[in-house]
Amino acid sequence: MGAGRAALLAATSAEAVHLAPAAVRLAPVRGLLLRRLAGHGAAGHVALTFDDGPDPASTPLFLDRLDELGATATFFLLGSMLEQWPSLGRELTARGHEVAVHGWYHDPQWWPSPARDARELRRTVEAVTELCGRRPLWYRPPYGVLTTGLLLAARQVELRPVLWTAWGRDWTAAATPASVYRTLRPGLHGGATVLLHDSDCTSAPGSWRSALDALPLVAERCSRLGLELGPLREHGLIKRHYPYD
């Protein structure tokens, strides 16, 4: 075997190892094999989570709507957004919500770089802790792409990865409150983790409005089913020191 081919095979193997955990993004894998990592929690509870904030154009409206509904949620924050709008981080925790890590930037880490992964996650954890006044517990990678490097980096900073069991496809230009609710409804059952977005910084402009106006429908459905709507900290996921299964 030539040196060039050997190097290519080695690089391909390293990339395969790096991306192997990303298979958890596939619904059958999450639903059947890694239920806790997917966010399957307590039977009487639905975890409400938001990605991509904080955003001054939209996050305050979500906070007001959640106050109206008497609900709290977990917000997966981007460090780059929090750095620009630190007062929103404090407001999130002051109003009873849980803060978590979504990464510094909203970039999928397709190529192995352990030093980069560790540096960016640590930087985000430090920013969330300092600017929000609470140390985060949870980590959700952008696009749900959990790589070996990110998994190891999350361990180093004691973050627990969690994805989702139901989403509303609220990031598209065609989304409406009705379409978001219709997409979520089959997954609104006990133990579900719901993914929505409180910012359009990585989505179609203004798409967050569809999620905002779908919230009353989600809350009503949960109430009708006798389910409590709340943050991940109340979802019954922490049963072991580091619950990946």
Catalytic residues: 51, 197
At a CB cut-off of 8 Å and minimum separation 6, what does 239 contact? 36
Residues 6+ positions from 44 with CB-CB distance below 8 Å: 190, 226, 227, 228
Which candidate, 193, 90, 104, 171, places its Cα nearest to that of 133?
A: 90
Q: How far apart are CA 31 and CA 39, in angstroms?
A: 9
Rg (the chain; Cα; Å): 18
In the block, which residue shows the tokens 């075997």?
1
d(CA 76, CA 78): 7
